[in-house]
Amino acid sequence: MIAKKYMELPTEGLTRGCMLDEGNAVTVYLDTHEEVRQVPDGNPEEGRVKDETVRVGYAVRCLKPFSEDRAVDAAIQTAFGLRDGEVSRFNADMAMMIADGSDDATVAEYKGFVKWLRLELAKALGTMDALTAAKEQKIAEIDAYDQSEAVNGFTLNGALVWLDKATRVGLMNSTNIAKASGSANTTLWLGGERMVVPCDKAIQLLSALEMYALGCFNVTAAHKKAVGELTTLDEVLAYDYTKGYPEQLKMEV
């Protein structure tokens, strides 16, 4: 998971309350908020501290000319440890994997981070009103919950595991082929464990898992639609997107 490090905002030189012109670059502070920190009080040798309220934000430094897209790329480069010139290729790779429906952890992390960046940039630059911003934030939270173990998981032989869609489809195809070829058993790899399972049992397991995943997809889509139709900020902030999901499966093989 990307660790968002928040820095104290400078007390002078800010425009829009969150942007600092540094000559050849602009630093924009995202998700700015007040935070209570402990600072030394009096003689440091005495070890006394006091609470001090400071304003902090997630700093993104973008070389000029500044634009939202360039700021997003700069943040991606820092967050994912990329070198100069690697961001475009990385973005293209992520776009291809997203188009293929990949459930890879890095892809999910990338999608969530970029959505968060664009939302916070829109708020910082004043291009999005409060209700729209809240809806975008809530939908980003729904996506994150949909990708979490609270949804993407099932218990097999007492262990929490998951199979992404591409793996489920591949296993179902290979198991059906094995069965049609006269094989009684097939091999499944789950949670790093090799399991030899009767073909009929594997098909039953994968079918149940596919129906569970479809149910989760429908709930996530319904939550997004519901949030999009809300008309007040209080309704959006109070919306509970964790409700309605089917109970996670528990299976033994």
Q: Express each pLDDT in 173-201 by its tens digit.
A: 999 999 999 999 998 887 778 889 999 99
What's CA 212's distance to the chain center, in Å?
21
**Rounded Cα gap, residues 39 and 54, in angstroms:** 11
Instruction: Please check the confidence at residue 101 and state whether its pLDDT lies above 80.
Output: no
Mapped onto helix, strand or coil, the DSSP state of residue 193 is strand
The model's confidence at residue 1, banded by pLDDT at 50, 70 and 90, is low
Chain-wide mean pLDDT for the chain? 90
- Is residue 101 within 8 Å of residue 165, measured between CB atoms? yes
Give the tokens for residue 52: 């001090």
d(CA 213, CA 2) in angstroms, rounded, equals: 26
User: Comparing C-alpha atoms, which of 215, 244, 217, 239 is closest to residue 229?
Assistant: 239
Please give the DSSP secondary-structure letter assigned to residue 45: G
Assessment of whether the complete model's pTM goes beyond 0.75: no
pLDDT one-digit tens code per residue, 226-242: 999 999 888 998 999 99
Query: Cα 70 from chain centroid?
Result: 21
Residue 96 backbone dihedrals phi, psi, to 5 degrees: -65, -40
